[in-house]
Amino acid sequence: MNLQSGRSHNERLSFEDFYEKYYDRVFNFVYMRLLHREDAEDITEDTFLKAMAAYDRNDTAKASDLTWLCTIARNCMVDHIRKSRKGKIISFDGTFDIGEEDRELESLNDDTERRIYQIFQKLSPEERELLSMRFKLDMDYSKIGEILGIEPKTAAKRVERLLKKCREIETNGGKRK
């Protein structure tokens, strides 16, 4: 029995149930990195297609299902960005075509969501990914470290620094005092 998932390899969820359980979390993980809804949907779809092809080979003793999916999603994002650079569709540095970021911002109804989105626009994709793993996916520092290839203490320190940076952005637009 896998302690992380609470089931043995033989007690595996159907892929349909697996998809239902993790779709929103994977989508949010990707979206928080890219801040582009259509690209996040495409990458999430690619992630689950690849996961479906390898589902029987996934060993939950090595990594939790969510850790496994986030690793696939990160690889899909890298692939997407490489393809995009050739076609100049999006930029991985967080910049958008004129007007595109406004459509995303306008789609948010809640003032808190709008403030968070505006702060996230000022963070790098890597910073957004880290905060997404910690707070949106509720991953502990050991899982974050496993995905990013860093020590848990390093992940914790990076999150601490990022939260400070977010407070500075909200307080004075990101300008250093």
Reported as a single tens digit per residue, the pLDDT across 5-33 is: 444 445 778 999 999 999 999 999 999 88
User: Which range of residues forms the domain containing residue 35?
Assistant: 9-124
DSSP 174: T
- What integer pLDDT is reported at residue 13 of this predicted model? 87
- Residue 70 belongs to some domain of the structure: yes
- Residue 152 belongs to some domain of the structure: no
2 CB-side CA count, 13 A: 16
- 33 vs 76: CA distance, rounded Å: 12
Residue of 125 and 176 predicted with greater confidence: 125
pLDDT at residue 176 above 60? no
Work out the pLDDT band at 106, boundaries 50, 70, 90. Answer: low
β partners of residue 2 = 7
- Residue 103 belongs to some domain of the structure: yes
pLDDT at residue 4 above 50? no
CATH code for the domain in which residue 119 is found: 1.10.1740.10
Provide the whole-model pTM.
0.65
pLDDT at residue 73 above 90? yes
- Residue 150 belongs to some domain of the structure: no
Domain count, the chain: 1
Locate 93 and state its tokens.
Answer: 């540095």
Phi, psi of 87 (to 5 degrees): -95, 0
What is the radius of gyration, based on Cα positions, of the chain?
Answer: 17
Angle between helices 65-87 and 141-148 (to 10 degrees): 40
Q: What is the pLDDT of residues 80-97, one digit of tens each?
A: 888 876 644 444 444 444
- How many angstroms separate the Cα of 156 from the Cα of each of 118, 129, 159? 23, 14, 5
- Residue 32 belongs to some domain of the structure: yes
